[in-house]
Amino acid sequence: MKSCCFTGHRNLEGSVREQIIPVLTDKIEQLINEGVAVFINGGALGFDTLSALAVLGLKNKYPKIQLHIYVPHKGQSDRWSDDNKTIYDYILSRADRIEVISQFHHSECMKDRNQSMVDDSDFVIAYVRKNSGGSYYTARYAESKNKKVFYI
């Protein structure tokens, strides 16, 4: 099965979110129509949340697609707001697979999670607006592995 993962910034302003959602949904649907059945998500705030919810929304129309969540470490959401935890728990409850990369938080767990997602994917959908940070380095890692990266 073909697969696609997501990478993008955690902090998204409201107007940016509203602009991203239709473009993101269209790209996911295009990939579904090209045979992608597995969507891999890091379960983080911001772009990860938007992309996970977009995949879950499309499952009604395309029931064979799957959402896999790669959690970087146990307790990822422990310090999040109650609202963000509720959304995260909803996403996890609807995921087809959950993979926990590390049993505890450490300095490399996010990078390890991101590389695992890329390694397990054929394609990457990325929302990257700066030349630094985890999303930037994940997209660059994907390019170095000859993965097709679609930038939003």
Residue 14: its pLDDT value, please?
73
Joined together, the tokens standing for residue 17 give 């979110």
What are the DSSP calls for 71-104, one per residue? ESSTTTTTTS-HHHHHHHHHHHHH-SEEEES-SS
Residue 7 has pLDDT above 90, yes or no: yes
Joined together, the tokens standing for residue 136 give 């930037």
Confidence bin at 16 (pLDDT 50/70/90): confident
Do 5 and 67 form a contact (C-beta atoms < 8 A)? Answer: no
Residue 8: its pLDDT value, please?
94
Which secondary-structure segment (H or E) carries 116?
A: helix 109-119
DSSP-assigned beta bridge partners for residue 37: none
The total of other beta-carbon atoms located within 10 Å of residue 89's CB is: 11
Domain map of the chain by residue range?
2-151
Do 126 and 8 form a contact (C-beta atoms < 8 A)? Answer: yes
**With pLDDT > 70 as the criterion, what percentage of the chain qualifies?**
100
Q: 62-81, pLDDT tens digit by residue? A: 999 999 999 999 999 999 99
CATH of domain 2-151: 3.40.50.450
Residue 12: its pLDDT value, please?
83
Residue 34: its pLDDT value, please?
97
Do 40 and 147 form a contact (C-beta atoms < 8 A)? Answer: no
**What type of residue is 25?**
T
Q: 89-130, pLDDT tens digit by residue? A: 999 999 999 999 999 999 999 999 999 999 999 999 999 998
